[in-house]
Structure 1
Amino acid sequence: MDLKSHAYSLDHATLLQSLCNTENLLLIQDLDGVCMELVRDPLTRRLDRRYIEATHRLAGHFYVLTNGEHIGSRGVNAIVEQAFDTPEHVREQGFYLPGLAAGGVQLQDRHGRVSHPGVTDEELAFLHSVPQRARQFLRDLLAVAPYSLSADAIAAMIESCVLDNPASPTLNINRLHQHFQDRPHSWISLQQAASVFMGELLQHAAASGLGDSFFIHYAPNLGRDDNGDERVKYSEGDNAGTTDFQFMLKGAIKEVGVLVILNHYYHQRCGRYPLGEHFNARQSPRELDALLQLAQDHFDPALMPRIVGVGDTVTSYPQNDHDGTHYQRGGSDRGFLTLVQQLGRRFDTDNVVVYIDSSGGEVRRPGVDRDHLQRHAERPDLSVWNALRGTTDADDPLTLDVIFPEGHRQYVDFFCRLADQR
């Protein structure tokens, strides 16, 4: 599949045939919005059992890379177990989703063995304190104007919004957006308050001697500012903007996770770890050029797999100033998809960036215009950018090679066919 001629393609049949004919294949995939619907309440997430069984058939060629977590009350492992009659069967037969969670610092194999390479006990202890702080923050905030919710309503919101993830505690305020979406000023004030609260957490960490341990991840976001901090995407029109405020360990960025996964993939194929057995996300550089150089210096090109990166959170919004129009580009999947694309060019492996349109779920996001994309496929002279507003732009260095405009169900069908035909 020639990337130059298949950008923004809807040709899933050609992609399927191409991947079935690729022996040395590595599929790295996000989870929420990709293989399950984006929902306001994470406790209602579900995974299709046939998808889980398909990941089992692709063992060795499939890894997840998510900002969510494998374990904990909101972890994906519990969702996997719900799909089976006997949870013990999941562990015994190896049906857990292998790969990296919490942005890259929580490693799991197919049998549910979990570790946190490079993370200290002191850092885990501080992370453990964050959910209670978040509950108190919402309890105090929502009781007063302009929110003024009842005690029962506040308790329900806290139960839904505070995600007590062990390695990436999160405020997921989708349900609050549902409640305040007809009061946009209140919703934006809530986003601002959540951002301030996250900044205060960083200050508490610094006072505890952990000033260089954490960062704040916003999903979706507007990329990074001059200090390297992610920008909040405030609500605009029908777009909810940032709804996930994640307190994360430094180094827990998905693009670094790609190299951690590659390190394990090489060990699986040749019996050695090119980056060392204990290489982890917190030891790695974070800049794209440095990551590419690290890969080139250590990974044997003859064994480099063809990588397929699959995600749903990529953003691009125009900003007008005295210098004209420029774009703020972000999204929690942008970094790792960009690295997958660049690795394909560096190693000449024809890597593929796959984009899932998750706008059809309960969470409002920019969607792609399938009809326009189809017309573009038939008439390449027709500009494609009107179909991708809010997601990408004409000057975006990241190219979305293949798009699934009907969301996670369309992708799951494709994924299961891939597993069957391989």
Structure 2
Amino acid sequence: MLDYQTGYSLDSTELLNSLATTERLLIVQDLDGVCMGLVRDPLTRVIERDYIEAAARLAGRFYVLTNGEHIGRRGVNSIVEKSVGDAAQARERGLYLPGLAAGGVQFQDRFARVSHPGISEAELRFLQQVPARSESFLRSLLASSPYGLDDRLISELVASAVLDNRVSPTLNINVLYQHFNAQPDIYRQLQQDIAAFMTSLHGQAAEQGLGASFFTHYAPNSGRDAAGHERLKLGADNHAGTTDFQFMLSGAVKEVGLLVLLNHYYFAQTASYPLGEDFNARQAPGTQAELLTLALDKFDPQLMPRIVGVGDTVSSIAQPGLQAFSRGGSDRGFLHLVQALGEAFASDNKVVYIDSSAGEVRRPGVDVEFLQRRLAEPDLAPWPALQGISDPADPLRLDVIFGGGHQQYVEFFCELAERLDRTA
């Protein structure tokens, strides 16, 4: 059987039926673009109440893993509270979304009890200064050539673009992409100017003895360079490229966070932490091979759950003139580790991809009609339907694809919670 004949399925019903009868199940899921639409302004995000209730019913079998944050004005908790209509009720009933935020360094249970394991006071102090520096930089930049915007417009754009996240301060330039999308050269220059600013922040951190404390996360990105740094993804005709420039703590990557979540899952089953009670993302090894070895050494295979990894940010861009691809995306690493753990533990893990291209942020989309042809033509390779997302040599296999975006996934998620409730 050819590799691509396994996976790349649009059949979510088969997956639903399978998961509804799975004894040990753990869903690890991204947020933006997965359970809510991608929007230009994070303050306008909405999560359906039914989804929140379903997540509560899946307690112990569900975690989020996001580069956003739980807390703060732009955190997911405020979206939950708005949907529920009462913060006290959300806290009392445990309706918050449990799991890891800020790439893996902000842990929360479903009652909104938040911790930041592994972060020093000096690092927190520096992070607190980043939003103000970002605002000052962006105001000055947009007033200068070639941008030349007026003060009123600059204030509006900066208010949306500067995200004052506590441990992952971010410049989100979706609103700037909308403003400059008819001027692609200027937009790409903006991306490069912001990347240079992020580099300058690292220089300032180094002056305070924090040179190894942080890294820049580009979302989406074009993979990593030889030094392990993420590559900026410049905008093109069919996508906005990198729109999130996140100043993050070293070690705060989702694949590491996956092991942190498994450590909590095992504790819930056994009252013991296989990796130690204080294990956090900043202590973990950095490569997939090392993470997999750690998992094999420490996790009891008899208790390993069937993991379903759900994400929407995976990219693969052909390198001009070369028979090679630059692969990236903030969900790629953790989804690939989900796949590898499934193979190593024979746990039938599944990688689920949500097509978020119908949102307000321009991204490559899935050609659903082409994939549907594969039902009648099983030898048909899926790659023409996944341009900009995957490629023939991609080691990450997308088992099930939700072509209907977050709306289709939310409906699926709610149905799964209901069916598991009935069999509990």
- Do the two structures share a fold, i.e. TM-score over 0.5? yes
CA distance in 2: counterparts of 1:387 and 1:292, whole angstroms: 31
1:116 aligned to 2:105? no
1:258 aligned to 2:258? yes
For structure 2, the residue ranges without an aligned partner over 5 or more in a row are: none
After TM superposition, the structure 1 stretch with the greater mean CA deviation from structure 2, 224-233 or 376-385, is 376-385
Identity across the alignment (%)? 61
Q: Residues 377-413 of structure 1: CA distance to partner in whole angstroms, max 9, x if unpaired?
A: 2211112110000000010000000000110001000
1:328 aligned to 2:297? no
Partner in structure 1 of residue 298 of structure 2 = 298
Partner in structure 2 of residue 217 of structure 1 = 217
SS at match of 2:374: helix
Task: Say whether the 8 Å CA contact 2:5–2:379 is kept in structure 1.
Answer: no
Partner in structure 1 of residue 191 of structure 2 = 191
Partner in structure 1 of residue 139 of structure 2 = 139
CA distance in 2: counterparts of 1:69 and 1:60, whole angstroms: 20
Q: Which amino acid aligns with 1:386?
A: P
CA distance in 2: counterparts of 1:95 and 1:212, whole angstroms: 36
SS at match of 1:177: helix
Task: Say whether the 8 Å CA contact 2:5–2:378 is kept in structure 1.
Answer: no
Q: Residues 122-151 of structure 1: CA distance to partner in whole angstroms, max 9, x if unpaired?
A: 101100000000000111001122111111
Partner in structure 2 of residue 14 of structure 1 = 14
After TM superposition, the structure 1 stretch with the greater mean CA deviation from structure 2, 374-383 or 125-134, is 374-383
Q: What is the correspondence of 1:22-421 to structure 2 with a 5 Å cutoff? A: 22-321=22-321, 324-421=322-419
Q: Residues 40-71 of structure 1: CA distance to partner in whole angstroms, max 9, x if unpaired?
A: 11110010000000000000000000000000
CA distance in 2: counterparts of 1:198 and 1:16, whole angstroms: 42
Task: Say whether the 8 Å CA contact 2:4–2:382 is kept in structure 1.
Answer: no
Q: Which amino acid aligns with 1:260?
A: V
SS at match of 1:223: strand
CA distance in 1: counterparts of 2:359 and 2:407, whole angstroms: 11
Q: Which amino acid aligns with 1:237?
A: D
- How far residue 374 of structure 1 moved from its aligned partner, in angstroms, is 0.5
- How far residue 84 of structure 1 moved from its aligned partner, in angstroms, is 1.5
For structure 1, the residue ranges without an aligned partner over 5 or more in a row are: none
CA distance in 2: counterparts of 1:185 and 1:86, whole angstroms: 46
SS at match of 1:378: coil
- How far residue 238 of structure 1 moved from its aligned partner, in angstroms, is 2.5
Q: TM-score, normalised by structure 2?
A: 0.98
- How far residue 337 of structure 1 moved from its aligned partner, in angstroms, is 0.1
Task: Say whether the 8 Å CA contact 1:6–1:402 is kept in structure 2.
Answer: no
CA distance in 2: counterparts of 1:64 and 1:332, whole angstroms: 14
CA distance in 2: counterparts of 1:61 and 1:108, whole angstroms: 15
CA distance in 2: counterparts of 1:405 and 1:14, whole angstroms: 15
CA distance in 2: counterparts of 1:353 and 1:287, whole angstroms: 19
Q: Residues 222-256 of structure 1: CA distance to partner in whole angstroms, max 9, x if unpaired?
A: 00000100000001113110000000000000000
